[in-house]
Amino acid sequence: MRVAEAIGRAVARLGTRDFFGLVGSGNFHLANEMQASGMRYVGARHETGAVTMADAYARASGRLGVCTVHQGPGVTNALTGLTEAAKTRTPLLLLAAEATAPLSNFFIDEEGAAKVAGAVHRRLSSPAAAVKEIADAARIAVGERRTVLISLPLEVQAGECEPPDGLEEPAPPEAKAAPATDVETLARWLETAERPLLLAGRGAVLSSAREPLERLADQTGALLATTAVADGLFAGNPWYIGISGGFASPVGAELIAASDLVVAFGASLNMWTTRRGRLIGPGAKVAQVDLEANALGAHRAVELGLVGDVAATARALCAALGSHRSDPSHRWRSDGLAERIRHAGWREQEFEDLSGGGRIDPRTLTIALHGLLPQMRMLAVDSGHFMGWAPMFMDVPDGRSFVFTQSFMSIGLGMATGIGAAIARPDRLTVVALGDGGALMGLPELETLGRLGLDALVVVYNDASYAAEVHHFAHEQPRMDTVRFPETDFASLARAVGMEAATVRSLDDMEVVRDWLNHGRPKPLLLDAKVVPTVVAEWLEEAFRGH
């Protein structure tokens, strides 16, 4: 059979259910065979949108993300989304057609493009080897948690090969605990610490480590926190103090800084999580558990680094503590602290509601949405000044419910992120939070959302500016015309692509959300929220300090 068809069939047999992309002549037969093999095709309007959808899908579902693009500009258009996925170590296959003739209009150095993006590169070498090479690329993506760009030369795709046979779904990395000596050392540290904190990152989510980490915290009297991308992992736990970093509540930040032992489980301890190192107290010991040895101490020095799977290592720590562990009740856990934590969230903090004059305070808006929307929801957030309000003022039910494509710090990925999350979890409402700048950058995928009719609510925090720059440079009193724009009517744009839409200027306008919910959410809904432009996000000053 034709190689293009064989590899399409092979991808399906590797366990793929959904794939994303844009189709041109170079991947036409491949995409058709993938659909014929039972996979659902989700067509984007821009290649970066397609890759970002596959990225978000993988994060939300725990499955391999798959995307296909045309040769040449299809690959260059995909680079921003590919870089984001590669930086996050998302298990993802980008099946890219390739023109290998140097004089072809479509010719580019795809291997070089993958290197620039930080992705692994593979190329089909011959018709006979094509199916095996696809399977090998999938094993790298899943087994090493890497993003792989696999080039599909047109001449190889046109060749003939045997139908794929005997393929198995690729396996994730082996869940091995850290070495016993390191586990024993950390167990003793946890025994003697007075104010221990367990900080879980994306590695803990990937490892499904909630249960052993909560058990370890109960054994040691530790408090629990997460990085932004692991938000929700400990949802409902009375000792969960929220997100560490710029999104931390005042009480959460105080408790993190007061910890005398911080153990990072699958968390990189980057500058965003530690507020450039200032959030962790100078006298605290820091230990780090990660599957990758090169992740240990990469962003800040640690006193102890353990190489191992997060869940397996947490279970080993519980076993090492055993029955001789000290009673955690004399640590900092107390009824009084539990009560402080219960009221520590951002929704509990007082603020001056600045709504008025035809604009709504973004905090007021987000708190209202939290109260109206179902608790079992997905939350996808773009980048920009607005980006903290949704995760700070809205809860998510578990560690895979907040999808935050922020490793490359690009705006404009949020709409595609929301689509990927909604495809991964059709059983839940997906809330997509965007700034007006990012919404315009990702505007092609608004049509995708309307066309697919997904169960989604899009909220555009619209202040007609790139507000991060407006607020960051305001003290210099410069010209701002380069980062301020005329008002955009996003509601009209949404209606034009088949969505429901409304403009929100006050809480009274939120009645449209209640009506939409009561009528069964028949179409995606977009809220063009005209927010007060003078409200400065709490995280901004910390994020830009030292820039």
pLDDT digits (tens, 9 = 90+) for 285-342: 999 999 999 999 999 999 999 999 999 999 999 999 985 555 555 589 999 999 999 9
Mean pLDDT score across all residues of the chain:
95
Residues 328, 364 share a domain: no
Contact present, 61 and 95 (Cβ < 8 Å): no
User: Do 436 and 395 belong to one domain?
Assistant: yes
Q: Measure the CA–CA gap between 374 and 385, rounded to whole angstroms.
A: 26
- For residue 165, is it within any domain? no
At 346-387, the pLDDT tens digits run 999 999 999 999 999 999 999 999 999 999 999 999 999 999
310 and 446 co-located in one domain: no
At 447-497, the pLDDT tens digits run 999 999 999 999 999 998 888 888 888 778 788 888 889 999 999 999 999
- Torsion sign over Cα 92, 98, 452, 407: positive
Whole-structure pTM value: 0.95
Residue type, 324: H
Residues 222 and 141 in one domain: no
| Nearest-angstrom CA–CA distance, 200 and 301 | 18
Asked whether residue 425 falls in the same domain as residue 497, the answer is yes
pLDDT of residue 538: 83
pLDDT score recorded for residue 468: 84
**410 and 285 co-located in one domain:** no
Span of 45-59, 163-177, 441-455 with lowest mean pLDDT: 163-177
CATH code for position 448: 3.40.50.970
Print the domain residue range for 469: 351-544
CA–CA distances in Å: residue 43 to residues 48, 53, 310, 445, 482: 12, 10, 36, 10, 33
C-beta separation of 433 from 390 below 8 A: yes
CA 262/CA 311 separation, integer angstroms? 17
Is it the case that residue 542 has pLDDT exceeding 70?
A: no
Are 363 and 495 contained in the same domain? yes
DSSP-derived secondary structure letter, 464:
S
- 197-250: per-residue pLDDT in tens? 999 999 999 999 999 999 999 999 999 999 999 999 999 999 999 999 999 999
Tally of structural domains, the chain: 3
Residues 337 and 365 in one domain: no
Q: What is the pLDDT of residue 532?
A: 96
> pLDDT-based confidence at 28, cuts 50/70/90?
very high
Residue 69 lies in a domain: yes
Q: Is 464 exposed, middle or buried (0-12, 13-18, 19+ CB in 10 A)?
A: middle
Give the tokens for residue 108.
């580019």
Domain boundary residue among 157, 191, 206? 157
Whether residues 414 and 529 fall in one domain: yes
Q: What is the pLDDT of residue 351?
A: 94
> Are 369 and 513 in the same domain?
yes
Q: Are strands 120-123 and 500-504 parallel, antiparallel or unpaired?
A: unpaired
Average pLDDT over residues 186-202: 96
Using CB atoms within 10 Å of the CB of residue 178, give its burial: 0 to 12 exposed, 13 to 18 middle, 19+ buried.
Answer: buried
Q: Determine whether 374 is exposed, middle or buried from the number of CB atoms within 10 Å of its CB (0-12, 13-18, 19+).
A: exposed
Amino acid at 178: A
* Residue 512, beta-bridge partner list: none
On whether both 424 and 380 belong to a single domain, the answer is yes
